[in-house]
Amino acid sequence: MHLTATHADHRSLHRELLTCRRRLHVGGARTALFNWLFAKSQGGELILRVEDTDIARSTKESEDKILEGLKWCGISWDEGPDVGGEHGPYRQSERIKAGIYEKKLEALMAEGHAYRCFLSPEELDEMRAEAERNEQAFVVQSPWANASEEEVQAMIDQGKPYVYRFRVPFDREIVVDDLVLGEVIWNSDDLGGDFVIVRQNGMPMYNFGVVVDDASMGITHVLRAQEHLMNTPRQILMYEALGLKVPTFGHMPLILAPDRTKLSKRHGAVSVGEYQKRGYLPSGMVNYLAQLGWNDGTKQEIYTIHELLEAFKMERMSKVAAIFDTDKFKWVNGHHVRRLDDDEALELIGARLKEHGLVKEVSGEFVRKASQLLRDRISTLEEAVEELVSMLEFDLEGMMAKDVAKPYMEDGALHETARLLLHAKEQGDFDGIGKDPQVMKKIAQGIGKARGGVKKKALLVPFRLCLTSSDQGPDMNIFFEMLQEVDDNVLCKCVSLEERLEMLKDKFELDQPVPC
């Protein structure tokens, strides 16, 4: 699948083979993003082309998933199989039926640039083995390159299978002025000999198909990953053989895992869909992918899509591989989660809570307040579930078994704080909790005074442990304001303030609160 972009008098191309996979890989998404940024920053249009000649792996389901992934990222197109346009058909399988490749193949054959090759797989294997035995590079030197018409026709009459090979000229220097890498030079003798352009089943090979398609669609810029660099000299030779204008190429840096190997499943999620399921935002995905091999020359790290469009310049593309850092990705995504407005937080975070059975519906004051509270505490939407459950459950036993509680258990601070909290409840000091932001502050000040003016940490840590069972968390006024809104819509376990204080009373055996 290609995304092709048009602008002004020329058209640019994103080339990243996608439909042979069953999902949109982050590498493919990044290549699509850079092409989208390039085209749109130039006031261009985008065309999507589907390369589905690998019948076994190219399915309608895989195509749909990839298109959905691109759309989720905010990458749209002006022409394609789903929207139509003047440069169709947009699937290579449909272009085969239209005879588009056949005409160009005939042109290559007529000019002597291509020929039928009847070499069997066994013969090729033997040629390859012979090269290995002689410690030489394997170069295809087909005896059919110079066969007579009579010899070829005799094989056809016998029903012998054949492929079409492109005739690589000898000792030709091929030069490309790459938008990213600068000048790159090859010698045609280093390309491995004559290469296949049409399979036995009549399907065009990648290099041949994209040359024909790019030319017929008027593509002038080809932007793709550096793993496609070795395809470039072969494609240039075919452009020239067909008398077509060679486009401008740009090969972007690869995305590697932290161990500098190819990014794969063993390094975690590698598809856009997996990250979507894990609660990453499209804006976070786009922001992070844009920084894998590109920067605008500043220290800015968080961008909106509009800021990326304004800043994008191809000359800022790096030549070296980028490392996919999942921690950094999560950090970037967290910034975008915190940028959600109240309605977006309700819709997205609320949907996660409902999906995991914490609430019945994405509505009501509890869900609204919970979404706003969680927005500032999570890096992915999926984290909202565990975070909310942890806050609402009040795991007093678990808290007291942790190292953070140990010093406050040993010096009696937890016991004393629990006693003073119960006294504050008896005195009515908790009245107005969740409504008046001064309530919690006054209770904390009273406890601090009763404990002889202890320092801030010695006061606030046991104070928070006693009320939330954690030494970290949201503003307690906001938390208890949310807790006041628990209703029938809430399905998960919620321990109220009254229940928390009662649990403290039982745990510390405080039958009668002792006044300060």
**Residue 70 belongs to what H/E stretch?**
helix 60-72
Is a pLDDT exceeding 50 seen at residue 516?
no
Q: How far is CA 407 from CA 358, 399, 414, 449, in A?
A: 34, 12, 9, 20
Sorting pLDDT into bands at 50, 70 and 90, what band is 434? confident
Question: What is the mean predicted confidence (pLDDT) over 121-127?
Answer: 95
- The reported pTM is 0.89
Question: What does the pLDDT read at residue 308?
Answer: 96
Residues 87 and 85: their CA atoms lie apart, in Å, by: 6
Question: What does the pLDDT read at residue 1?
Answer: 61
Residue 185: beta bridge partners? 175
Question: What is the mean predicted confidence (pLDDT) over 499-513?
Answer: 84
Q: Which of 60, 71, 245, 265 is catalytic?
A: 265
Is a pLDDT exceeding 60 seen at residue 3?
no
Give 10-31 pLDDT, tens digit per residue.
Answer: 454 443 333 334 589 999 999 9
Taking phi first (over 0 means left), then psi (-120 to 50 degrees means alpha), and beta for anything else, what does residue 25 get? beta
Question: What does the pLDDT read at residue 268?
Answer: 67
Give 79-109 pLDDT, tens digit per residue.
Answer: 899 998 888 999 999 999 999 999 999 999 9
Give helix then strand counts, H and E, for the chain. Answer: 22, 12
Q: How far is CA 336 from CA 191, 285, 362, 385, in A?
A: 46, 10, 21, 18
Weakest mean pLDDT among 35-49, 226-240, 275-289: 35-49
Residue 265 is a catalytic residue: yes
